[in-house]
Amino acid sequence: MNEVLTLFELNSLVHEVIEDNFDEQYWVVGELSDVSTPAYGGHFYGELVQKDEESDRIVARARITCWARNYNMIRLRFQKEAGETLRKGLQVKLLVEVNFHEQYGYSLNVVDIDSTFTLGDLAKRRREILQQLEKDGILHDNQSLPLPRLLKRIAVISSATAAGYGDFCHQLEENEFGFHFDVRLFPAVMQGEQVPESIIAALQEILSEPPFDLVVIIRGGGASSDLSDFDSYELAACIALYPLPVLTGIGHERDETVLDYVAHTKVKTPTAAAAFIIEHQGQEAALLDELYQRITHSARERILREKQRYEHQKAVLPLLFAGFYQKQQNKLVLLRQRFSASSRQLLEREKHRFELMKQRMESLDPKLLLKRGYTITTCGGKLVRSIEGLAEGEVLTTQTEKGEIYSKVVLCKKN
């Protein structure tokens, strides 16, 4: 018959077996889960899990503990080297000791952490997202959008209580040029697992409002370790395909997220985002001022030239008019002389022609013919030119200078 043990006795046996066989330290890789963030000086508790790469199902888990004496040192060094905190969802490589306690059971005691492993995993994750965006052909879509020349209406996605948002607005309001900007905040979660979903919702809300010139996503201050929350394919794809230019000012000088690669323009901080907008407007204002100066200068030169031209015409016109008047007067005199001479010549020609016609008419006068011995014979009032049409018995009248002779046709004989 098997010996009956109490639970404590059985756990004590397991404890002895583990202490005898697992007396070394082991490097173990996994994902942090159910992490508790202790206050300064407290112990760190959490869970390390391993997931199936295809199904994302948890295939192994272990409770982990890091005692306060090691945790503060590990936390500060890890944050400095990896730019991260020990948070849920982070892939880590931990140096652990296997421990079993009769009351608390199996756990792993964290002795150290490999920062380079996490850095490599974060970099790998970002690289995979960027490769997928490029494969989809959308990595540079937002960057290809033209930046409006006038950045007047600015939509800002940030936390309403963030100091970075306040700095951004203050710098815009106090710009040295006196530019006025219409800034509207679309609040979003800027830390934690809800970052992608919250920012995507804000981007969708912006499109339902009156048109904006630029969208600014800013996050200032806080731990740089939270920036990995922005490394999301869904969020990056949304910004890459967004119809408005997106300006990002997330993190600090040495930090970079996937959003920085897909945004139209990236700067490092919220104040740098405000400075970019002010500088852009300053350049446009300088260009407009230059155009104004050029137009004004050209207008002044044109007015001066036209004034000089007017004065010249004013001085020359009377002379030109006087010359024109004299020329026309001379022309009129010449035409008068020509007309007078032509009229006289025409009158003489017509007078001569009339005399000729008069003489001709007089030479054809029947009386002159009768004086010369000619006679005129008529029959029935018609001039007789031949025997054609005459008949026997008709009376002919023959007119001579001295009188008329009446005769009767007895016979008509042709030659």
pLDDT tens per residue, the chain (415 residues)?
A: 578 889 998 888 988 898 888 888 999 999 888 888 776 678 999 999 998 877 778 889 999 999 988 998 998 888 887 767 788 888 889 999 999 988 888 999 999 998 888 766 777 788 889 899 999 999 999 999 999 988 999 999 999 888 889 999 999 999 988 899 999 999 999 887 889 999 999 999 999 988 999 999 998 755 555 677 788 899 999 999 999 999 999 865 555 788 999 999 999 889 999 999 999 998 988 888 888 888 888 888 898 888 888 888 878 777 777 777 778 778 887 888 777 777 788 888 888 888 888 777 777 677 777 777 778 888 888 888 887 878 888 888 888 878 888 888 888 777 6
Backbone torsion region of residue 270, taken as left when φ is above 0, otherwise alpha when ψ lies between -120 and 50, otherwise beta: alpha
DSSP structure class, residue 103: T
Of the candidates 414, 380, 412, 411, the one whose C-alpha atom is nearest the C-alpha of residue 396 is 380
Give the span between the Cα atoms of 384 and 227, in whole angstroms.
Answer: 140
What is the topology classification, in CATH, of domain 7-113?
OB fold (Dihydrolipoamide Acetyltransferase, E2P) (2.40.50)
In this structure, what are the phi and psi dihedrals at residue 60, rounded to the nearest 5 degrees?
-160, 150
Q: CA 301, 303, 309 angle in degrees (round to 5)? A: 105
Give the span between the Cα atoms of 122 and 117, in whole angstroms.
Answer: 9
Convert 95-115 to b/e letters by CB count within 10 Å (16 or more is b): bbebbbeeeeeebbbbbbbbb
Q: What is the CATH number of domain 128-283?
A: 3.40.50.2300
Contact 411, 387 (CB under 8 A): no
Specify the pTM: 0.55
> How do the domains of the chain map onto residue ranges?
7-113, 128-283, 368-408
Residues 22, 76, 85, 266: is their CA dihedral positive or negative? Answer: negative
Q: Which residues contact 233 (CB under 8 A, 6 or more apart)?
A: 129, 132, 133, 258
The two beta strands, 91-101 and 246-250, are: unpaired
Rg (CA), the chain: 60
Give the span between the Cα atoms of 277 and 290, in whole angstroms.
Answer: 20
